[in-house]
A and B are shown apart, each in its own frame.
Chain A
Amino acid sequence: MALCVRALLGSAAARSLASPGRSLLPLRGRTLTLPGLRCASTVQQRVELKRRKALEGGGEKRTEAQHARGKLTARERVALLLDPDSFTELDMFVEHRCSDFGMEADHNKDFTVFGGSLSGAHAQKICKIMDQAMTVGAPVIGLNDSGGARIQEGVESLAGYADIFLRNVMASGVVPQISMIMGPCAGGAVYSPALTDFTFMVKDTSYLFITGPDVVKSVTNEDVTQEELGGAKTHTSVSGVAHRAFENDIDALLSLRDFFNFLPLSNKDPPPVTECHDPSDRLVPGLDTLVPFETTKAYDMLDIVHSIVDERDFFEIMPNYAKNIVVGFARMNGRTVGIVGNQPKVASGCLDINSSVKGARFVRFCDAFNIPIITFVDVPGFLPGTAQEYGGIIRHGAKLLYAFAEATVPKITIITRKAYGGAYDVMSSKHLRGDVNYAWPTAEVAVMGAKGAVQIIFRGKENQAEAEAEYVEKFANPFPAAVRGFVDDIIQPSTTRLRICRDLDVLASKKQTNPWKKHANIPL
């Protein structure tokens, strides 16, 4: 039910790519005046006329066509996304500068106007907004519904893209950038969402691809539909390009409001804290019996996450991609946290290429924007096999390791069951500057499982069953790690929420810096 309401007001800058660049916002109570207004009655009339035409967008007919496709116009979308009366539009009067090919000078480009293709003027508007967002430290939200470059404008349009890409890169890690794909987004345009922190899509009406089905057919002779090639399902479950998909425009925009509430405004802003009605010292008795006795039996990590976070409110990122790792945002005692957890229910919760990359990107986002990271560990190791080795599990796995190691935000780790081998090190271990590392009594921190270990140590010897029992007794428990201080405490699972909330309070003032560098070199 949590509806966000908070203020996009005075906090966010909205940018629309295909949709009209009419955007910008409202900065912390300061009012922005529209440029170029002069008081003269004739001018006034012209202003009114132009403004009215701009508000009409592509006119009634095109608006209807957009609606018929199950989509809203840019103006409707913006109205839904933002708080009432908080949107201040800039550059409503900018016209594109091209008059070739019979195009008439008209205002702007939501999909109802020129199919939302990107013109030089359009790009200029977007850049202006982004520059301003960077200066004030306001997040950027792009609502994309664009046919791509405006071919008629040629190189000017391409230059426009590059200008936007540069801003995306410069803003990366400074202010959160979110792309909502609400229509086609093809060709060069796709790189802007790819550069932003989160890409969301609307099911059935949005597509992302470098080249459309026609070009694919002519080049590779593959028959593929738009939906298969670059629909929401493809990108959220197969390619991992998009982070989440929503049912329709309204669902998407209202969910975006919820999501936005988790984020800080910029890298200088602390993570937001909201009023919390869920007691921070709430015990969760169900957790005491959650982890099954048989170490080979699966359970749902989301059960743990939901019962520990405030009000079971968990915004999962990439819920359908690399499901063996769970990442997303939640709150602990009102404070935004990032959650990373191995999912024993899927592929035993092992780390593979996709899950490592998914986890790494999420951890780096949290670190960039001061969001504490809580990691739940139940990992049997990295996934073996030729497919993984040939695919480069070594360098991809290294990304997750890198991300956890370089993160300087508060890091709290709970080992719920298995923490085997290199994967133990990777999952925000004490050795990677974990601030607080806990183990549940069911934890097993070891180089590998009992059976495998005994097969190697006692190769060709008898009494393997006995040796296995001894191994279990010695290593399949949290004590070896606890006596060395690699876990700070062995805690009763039901007290986990209470402990995390308390630790977050202490760690709120954590200050840690990495050595000066131009930028680090993550193994891409």
Chain B
Amino acid sequence: MAAYRVTPTFQRVLRAVKHASLRPRCYIISCHSQYSTVYDPHEKTFDKILIANRGEIACRVIKTCKKMGIKTVAVHSDVDSSAVHVKMADEAFCVGPAPTSKSYLNMDAIMEAIRQTGAQAVHPGYGFLSENKEFARRLAADGVSFIGPDTHAIQAMGDKIESKLIAKAAKVNTIPGFDGVVKNAEEAVKIAGEIGYPVMIKASAGGGGKGMRIAWNDEETREGFRFSSQEAASSFGDDRLLIEKYIDNPRHIEIQVLADKHGNALWLNERECSIQRRNQKVVEEAPSTFLDPVTRRAMGEQAVSLAKAVKYSSAGTVEFLVDSKKNFYFLEMNTRLQVEHPITECITGLDLVQQMIRVAKGYKLQHKQEDIPINGWAIESRVYAEDPYKSFGLPSIGRLSQYEEPLNLPGVRVDSGIQEGSDISIYYDPMISKLVTYGSTRAEALKKMEDALDNYVIRGVTHNIPLLREIIVHPRFISGDISTNFLPEVYPEGFKGHPLAAGEQRELLAAAAALHVAAQLRSQRFLGQQRVSSVPQERRNWELCVELDKRVHMLGVSRSGNSYTVEIDGEKVVVSGEWNLASALLPLTINEITLQYLGTSFKVRVLSKLAASLNKLMPEKIPEDTSSILRSPMPGTVVAVSVKPGDTVAEGQEICVIEAMKMQNSMTAAKTAKVKSVHCTAGETVGEGDLLVELE
């Protein structure tokens, strides 16, 4: 028999438990997420929930389940078998190979997982099966609760035309337009006059911007009608056209709603999601700087009436376009938990996942509309594994060789489903995390976001922090002057990184020079050795050349203690700080301003004055481009070829697999490009150096 000794901590825990049992409710306030949600341990809930998702949202749901005392089941594909969500869950079930169609979208396998684990309910997260009415139907047939709205609501809101009609009937503002088919140009002009300019003429069968024209007057309408019908006929074989009001420079603002199965519905304020690239949100905030209480209430009430009209239950989002005059128009309703739900949680204190679980269990909402506050301001940045310098973000993949979330800072919440060592693969969304900061004012939240981005360490994959860091400090963003066109308007030439102001450049150069000197001095210090320098004193002054962006700057550096005075173009910059050269972040004080990271990474090369002068003599080398040719690194058998000519491959994407020594070696693309030609087939034997694939 082992003897247990009651330690002081254990006693404290005991007391806390005792205390909790005396009161009907136990208040748990997480220090990282700003919930003030109340968990009632006596409210009966599900015993076991299966989360039909992966990544950060699966982790997010599991966290709440743990707080509520619910057992969790994770499903995963074979490549995800050691993913964070699998480790966090109580049970895990493999539902198939890596491609989503064979795993996370594989309803049969997921139904089997539910049967085998005895899960009573399924949380679908977002994406995958979250808005799939067939999945909801199959769950209902098996008597498993779907943590989301019922099939009817999913179906009604999933159809663009039907949802618009329902919205109209529920007295929700919809984009003014002609619902029927426009017959000819003159009719188009007449309708346009009724709607009011500008109007958009678009193909009924349209998509991808084809067959779309914007018209500001009668003449343009006639012309637009002609072009659009031709384009529509050639692109879709269907020349039917619609006309609706064109919302110029719109904002994308959405209302979070929460409804139960007893006819109650609440609106949980708005989220401003206008910062987008290619229709994907990048930075979101709640509340919006743009809405006044009257508009907010109007939008909220319309959202609630739409939810009630479709007998909505669970959490949902009604998306609106808002024009510069604060006219708002219904866009669509998302019948699931949104990616950006944390910012709503921050300002309202509600745990939306917990609310969804309660509603699915059949409970009535605990709150009344007047209980829903706007406490402070929350901002979310979506941190993606992508290269922001290429059309604001092309996916990159790789292994996170170093990863540190800035959770040590106050008011920071990070929702992520990865950890150091995780692979960002081509199979799934390249999102690394959602970085949320929260403050009592917008300025405070923004400052925290700046700090959080500066303290975020991500190595091994290219990430979009440089872009995020630029957006949140941009004067237009700070003033709230944003629209869905923000990125293309602010960066018409594409994102180029942080433009260094003269002072910033000096600071950067000074930091580089001081760092160089600190590293030099360290490498001169040997421990426990008798290497005696023939130079009697330590150097105090250096003349250095720093190359930044192809320009060479002359710097003078002098040192006293841990502080370096750097002279650049007659200006003096003092750099001091903890010189931990192993640390991924250097907290330095430059002229008493703390400069931690400029968001953008800059390539700096420091040379001594002598080396720099001789460097001018070195001939420029034309880099040999081997990235467009893929050769077999060893003799072996080609097991699979994953590309064909004309395909576009992302950097690091698998091109083919070669088996040698009973080992499968994945050959990957060295750059993002189009495949020019493929010189191997599966099953073929190749020798070392054989040409496999050529890229353009």
- Please report A residues at the B interface, Cβ cutoff 8 Å: 1-7, 9-11, 26, 28-29, 31, 67, 70, 72, 76, 79-80, 83-86, 203-204, 247-250, 254, 261, 265, 269-270, 272-279, 284-290, 293-294, 296-298, 303, 306-307, 310-311, 323, 334, 344-348, 350, 380, 383, 449, 451
Contact = CB atoms under 8 A, between A and B. Distances in A.
B642 to A, nearest CB: 15
B608 to A, nearest CB: 8
Nearest to A76: B614
Given A10-B533, A29-B534, A297-B664, 12 more contacts: A1-B581, A3-B519, A28-B532, A70-B619, A204-B621, A254-B611, A286-B420, A287-B421, A293-B81, A310-B582, A311-B582, A347-B661
Contacts of A346: 633-634
B4 interface: no
A278 B522 CA distance: 13
Contacts of B402: 286, 307
Most A CB contacts (10 A, CB to CB) among B403, B520, B617 go to: B617
Contacts of A307: 401-402
B519 A1 contact: yes
Interface string B87-129: 0000000000000000000000000000000000000000000
Q: Which of B422, B530, B614 has the most CB of A within 10 A?
A: B614
Contact of B526 (A2, A6, A203): A6
Contact of B617 (A31, A70, A273): A70
B473 interface: no
Interface in B409-456: 419-422
29 contacts: A1-B519, A2-B522, A4-B523, A5-B521, A6-B525, A9-B534, A28-B534, A70-B618, A72-B614, A80-B614, A85-B535, A86-B535, A204-B621, A248-B618, A254-B607, A270-B528, A270-B529, A274-B527, A275-B522, A277-B522, A286-B399, A290-B421, A296-B664, A297-B664, A323-B633, A344-B663, A348-B660, A348-B661, A348-B662
Interface in B658-682: 659-666
A76 B614 CA distance: 8
Main secondary structure of the interface of A (DSSP, over half): loop
Contacts of B522: 2, 274-275, 277
Contact of A26 (B422, B520, B534, B615): B534
A80 B533 CA distance: 18
Contacts of B581: 1-2, 277, 311
B580 interface: yes
Dominant SS at the B interface?
loop
Nearest to A293: B81
A11 B529 CA distance: 12
Nearest to A285: B420
Contacts of B582: 276-279, 310-311
B520 A5 contact: yes
B248 to A, nearest CB: 48
B479 interface: no
B516 A3 contact: yes
B531 interface: yes
In the A-B complex, list the 3 residue pairs whose CB atoms are closest, starting with the nearest.
A286-B421, A348-B661, A278-B582
Contacts of B610: 79-80, 84
Contacts of B533: 7, 9-10, 29
A125 to B, nearest CB: 21
Contacts of B619: 70, 248
Contact of A285 (B419, B520, B618, B662): B419
A91 to B, nearest CB: 19
B591 interface: no
Interface string B313-325: 0000000000000
Nearest to B525: A275
